[in-house]
A and B are shown apart, each in its own frame.
Chain A
Amino acid sequence: MGILLFISVLLVAACGLIYELVAGTLASYLVGDSVFQFSTIIGTYLFAMGIGSALSRYLNRGLVYRFVWIELLLGVIGGFSSALLMLAFAFTQGFELILYALVIVMGVLVGLEIPLLMRIVRDRYEFRDVIAHVLTFDYLGALGASLLFPILLVPRLGLVRSAMLFGLVNAGVALWTTYLFSSQLSGSRTLRVACVVVLCALGIGMADARRITATAEDNIYADDIIFARDTRYQHLVLTRFKDDLRLFLNSHLQFSSRDEYRYHEALIHPGLATVPVPHRVLVLGGGDGLAVREILKYPQIESITLVDLDPEMTKLFSTHPMLTKLNDKSFLSPRVHIINADAFPWVDSNNDSFDFIVIDFPDPTNYSLGKLYTTAFYRAAARHLSAQGLMVVQSTSPMFARDSFWCIAQTLKQAGLQTYPYHVYVPSFGEWGFVLGSTHEYIPPTSLPSGLRFINVEGLPALFQFPPDMAPLPMPSNQLNSQVLVRMYENDWKDISH
């Protein structure tokens, strides 16, 4: 009997610690500031345990009976605490209130446990042995729980099911106690029925935990994050909400699968469709393969060279089923050659000529990226244009970053190219702009590949019209030694966001 009794002390102690850890971890995950969360939760919990211990002196009769009820209550409240907190965060404004209320209630109940147990067993042992044994197993249980929690429970079961598992342990101890002390109990049958009800409820909860988590998470994060990775070059996040896939690079939106066709058709076709016999195409940037998908619609093209810095990006868009579906497996085409290199030195060292060059870099948010928007870079790129060739440059928004857009156009002009700026509306981006650069006069195409969803011949001339709020502004060109564009871009977007 002795050892069994002390094992229940150990289990009870483990449960107490697990609930505390669950509350602390969840609060850190959801609210952040883990130091603050753990400090205040541990403090509140210990204080509530003190209240429980103080209250224990008012329980005088039917100690075993009351102990069983405490265990059951704790099993229910602690077991469901994690699910309750997640739902509270997702659906209510009062997460903190509920958090600390739960912590106090659980703390009081846990605080009652040990004093009651000591008093229950005090007649069987010497006082000093009671203290020694109960506390020994109490601390052992705490150690076990604190090791199990991070190593096994959180990674294997998750927070919701871990709490429920220990709720089951509490209820199990309750049930077990009714047998251990059956001689001291009257009405043990009712108690046992209650135990079984609680065990069943928690069991069902365990089985259904995934749905609870999913319901809460759907509301916590607007979109599911299906992929997130820090590559050597950038922070890459892919999200999905229903049928909308979105790619973020360093938290800048790159595309939304719902409307990216507008962006990519506009990027490619107004320029490429005018090249009489395009054989060779160069894409700088564009590691998502979506521009290449559009280029592959021209059967005459023999070779597409894509230069993108990040091998993980091009690999992801060559292999991930959701993404290869989006880019029509464009990277798997034998006509496509992927080169993972820094664009400027590559352009400098390569001597091939191309009939169409696509320059699709992230916006000039810093001085490093700014180098790719300079007269020096456009001159180096223009060196690769064949006699019939032309290039297109993604040029940020002429609406939100009007100065920047016209600065890029001026930079291409300064690099010795004739420029033809145009713009389209992409719902997830807003008004977006491109500049065609050419060594000869550009006339919009009179035929386009079939199957386009956005660009058509009739609509093309309108893209080259700029309404007054996006109309040309006189801007300086952007040079390596001035990098005016980076500061301009920062100011443009500051105006929007403040």
Chain B
Amino acid sequence: MKVGRRKFLRAGSAALVGLSLKTDRPIVGSFVNDSFQMGHLLRDRASFPAPKRLEKFPVVIVGGGIAGLSAAWRLRKRGFTNFVLLEMNPQAGGNARWGENEVTAYPWAAHYVPVPGPKAEYVRELFEDLGVLKNGQWEERNLCFAPQERLFLYGRWQDGLEPAIGLTQKDRDQFQHLEDLFAKFRASGAFTIPLELGRSSKFQDLDRLSFSDWLQQQGCDSRLVNWYMNYACRDDYGALAKDTSAWAGVHYFSSREAEEKGPLTWPEGNGWITRRLLEQVGENVRTNQMVHRISETKRGVRVFAGDTEFQSEFAIFAAPTFLAPYLVDGFPRLHDFIYSPWLTANLTLERLPDSRGAEPTWDTVFLDSPTLGYVDATHQSLRTHIERTVWTFYWALADGTPAQNRQRLLEKDWNYWKEAILHDLERAHSDIRQCVSRIDVMRMGHAMIRPAVGSVFSEERRRLTRRDGRLLFANSDLSSISIFEEAQYHGVLTAKTALDRLHGHL
């Protein structure tokens, strides 16, 4: 039998297919929940339609994040239902939005609430309403399951996020020194949540220098100490220690009792709270309502959204405060509101990757990575056998100025971020590319307020929290830190003020 040359070549190449490299799984995905287009319309003062309809409500809430939803919760709890909440996006929740696919529900941003201390009374009240706190006991299923956190360093894992292995005596001494300092600050009672309840001019000096300068003053030059302090600032403020007020840096470590049992978390993160709040206030919520103008008068507030004018006696501005100069007639330019840009991504995994023998944890962080690692959405599952999962990957773009990083968010395509994320995960999970089937990326140019130097004791902030006009400001950025408790606190307070003054007038 003669084998033709062509036939031989074909057989040969077929044999070679078997020799080709193990291929990676094809990964799909896209940018999701982009909102900068709408923001840019406002920024560029685009012309909006003249109102065709008029609706009247005693109270209008602008913004359906935690601050707005909490204001709504408070109003309804007091039996007041004649109000409307206007949300720009198709989905309410703001930084407590969530997503869901066939594997699990997952968070898009905020994903936990520390077990609230005694001062956070509104948070405790909410959690009692939601069945998370019963007879003084926290519901076990809502507390983060063990094992909670792990840090990948020197090619291995450790429990907890503060570096604990490979430390020199100097590292240890400096960690200890800081811990002692933070304990003293904690004992002073000036670093509380809500922040407003404890803030004291006694420590105002701390707001005049950066956290990194303060650390230097304390003699902290250890590389590991500085990594950990920077990690904390990136995690809660989206900023490096050099761009963070020392007061806020101290607050991060001194505002909560160190306790074992927290935090409270759910598969969809704080989206769970959004969901539960929407069950209670959903009928007052209108989504896809882009407010484009607000006009405060002596007798009330006119809010323009789409082709409708809402006339109210009081309006609660729960949207990010930086939007106010673009929306509110005659509103001055803001100087003390700087926002950190973030990127989050949800990765669908068809199987768990190699993790060098470690059991999965809730939160995973990599030493010396520019990112904040990832959180596993199925960690709070009650199942014993988990094959597929979703990881929420967090990345505060802290290196460089916010403007530069916003530019970067806009310019780079999805493929760039996909590669960057996988590259980061490959530090600890060498076969991650064979596990991931989908990566959805959410870009947030103004993800959270940054407590820059001078922010905490800013006069501008003080003015906006006076709640003496008819337009009441409620966003957590009034506290200069972007956490659930602050958003809820301002939301509830504005609702309270609105009700008090409405009833006073009635």
B409 interface residue (CB < 8 Å to A): no
Within 8 A of B (CB), among A187-238: 232-233
Set of chain A residues within 8 Å of B146, measured between Cβ atoms? 367, 370, 480-483, 486
Q: CB-CB contacts of A325-348 with B at 8 A, as 1s and 0s?
A: 000000000000000001111001
- Inter-chain CA distance A348–B359, complex, in Å, is 25
Check if A371 sits within 8 Å of B384, measured CB to CB: yes
Q: Which residues of B contact A343 (CB under 8 A)?
A: 384
* Among candidates A232, A366, A377, residue contacting B359 with C-beta atoms closer than 8 Å: A366
- In angstroms, how far is the closest chain A Cβ from the Cβ of B477? 31
Interface of A (DSSP majority class) = helix
Interface residues of A in 246-282 (CB under 8 A from B): none
Asked if B261 and A481 sit within 8 Å, CB to CB, the answer is yes
In Å, the complex CA distance between A215 and B144 comes to 56
Residue from B141, B147, B384 having most chain A Cβ neighbours under 10 A: B384
A342 contacts across to B, CB distance below 8 A? 382-385
Smallest CB-CB separation from A342: which chain B residue?
A: B383
B179 contacts the other chain (Cβ, under 8 Å)?
no
CB closest chain-A residue, reference B265: A481
Q: Indicate if the CB atoms of A480 and B143 lie closer than 8 Å.
A: yes
- The digit string for B370-400, where 1 denotes a CB below 8 A from any CB of A, is 0000000000001111110000000000000
Minimal Cβ-Cβ distance residue in B for A370: B146
Q: How many angstroms between the C-alpha atoms of A370 and B262 in the bound complex? A: 18
| Docked pose: A371 CA to B383 CA in angstroms | 8
Residue of A at shortest CB range from B383? A342
CA distance A369 to B385 in the complex (A): 9
The number of chain A residues touching the other chain, given as a range, is: 20 to 34
Check if B279 is an interface residue, CB within 8 A of chain A.
Answer: no
Beta-carbon contact of B145 and A345 below 8 Å:
no
A479 x B140 contact (CB < 8 A): yes
A263 CA / B105 CA spacing, docked (Å): 41
A344 touches which one: B260, B261, B359, B384 (CB < 8 A)? B384
- Chain B residue nearest in CB terms to A478: B146
Interface residues on B, range: 10 to 19
Indicate if the CB atoms of A344 and B385 lie closer than 8 Å.
Answer: no
- With A376-B141, A480-B143, A483-B145 known as contacts, the answer to whether A371 contacts B382 (CB < 8 A) is yes
* B145–A481 CB distance below 8 A: yes
Bound complex: CA of A369 vs CA of B140, how far in Å?
A: 17
Nearest B residue to A344 by beta-carbon distance?
B382
Main secondary structure of the interface of B (DSSP, over half): loop
Q: Which residues 110-155 of B sit at the A interface, judged by CB distance below 8 A?
A: 140-141, 143-148
With A375-B140, A479-B140, A480-B141 in contact, is A367–B382 under 8 Å at CB?
no
In the bound assembly, the distance between CA atoms of A478 and B5 in angstroms comes to: 71
In the complex, A309→B385 CA distance in Å? 9
Q: Are A480 and B140 in contact (CB under 8 A)?
A: yes
Residues of A within 8 A of B147 (CB): 367, 483
Determine the distance from Cα of A371 to Cα of B145 in the docked complex, in whole angstroms: 9
Q: Is A374 an interface residue (CB 8 A)?
A: yes
In the complex, per-residue mask of B67-83: 1 if CB is within 8 Å of any chain A CB, else 0: 00000000000000000
CB neighbours (8 Å) of A371 from chain B are: 145, 382, 384
Task: Give A374 to B262 CA distance when docked, in angstroms.
Answer: 17
Interface assignment of A372: CB less than 8 Å from any CB of chain B = yes
Chain B residues with Cβ under 8 A from A233's Cβ? 385
Question: A369 near B384 (CB under 8 angstroms)?
Answer: yes
Residue of A nearest to B386 (CB): A368
Complex-state Cα separation, A369 to B260, whole angstroms: 21
Q: In this complex, what residue of B is CB-closest to A486?
A: B146
Inter-subunit contact A481/B143 (CB<8 Å): yes
Report yes or no: A348 in contact with B261, Cβ–Cβ below 8 A.
no
Expressed in whole angstroms, the Cα–Cα distance for A345 and B386 within the complex equals: 12
Bound-state Cα–Cα, A377 to B384, Å: 12
When distances are taken between beta carbons in the complex, the residues of chain A under 8 Å from B145 are 367, 371, 480-481, 483
Contact B384 A374 (CB under 8 A): no
The residue on B at minimum CB distance from A375 is B140
In the complex, A185→B147 CA distance in Å?
82
Please give me the residue from chain B that is nearest to A348 by CB atom. B382
Tell me which of A232, A372, A480 contacts B384 (CB under 8 A): A372
- Could you say which residues of chain A place their CB within 8 Å of the CB of B385? 233, 309, 342, 368
- In the complex with contacts A367-B359, A480-B145, A482-B146, A374-B140 CB distance below 8 A: yes
Residues of A within 8 A of B261 (CB): 481-482
**What are 6 A-to-B residue pairs whose CB atoms are below 8 Å?**
A232-B387, A342-B382, A343-B384, A344-B382, A344-B383, A482-B260
Spell out A's residues near B (CB within 8 Å): 232-233, 309, 342-345, 348, 366-372, 374-377, 479-483, 486
Q: Other than A366-B359, A481-B145, give 6 A-B pairs with Cβ distance below 8 A.
A: A232-B387, A342-B382, A376-B141, A480-B140, A481-B146, A486-B146
* Residue positions of B touching A, CB distance < 8 A: 140-141, 143-148, 260-262, 359, 382-387
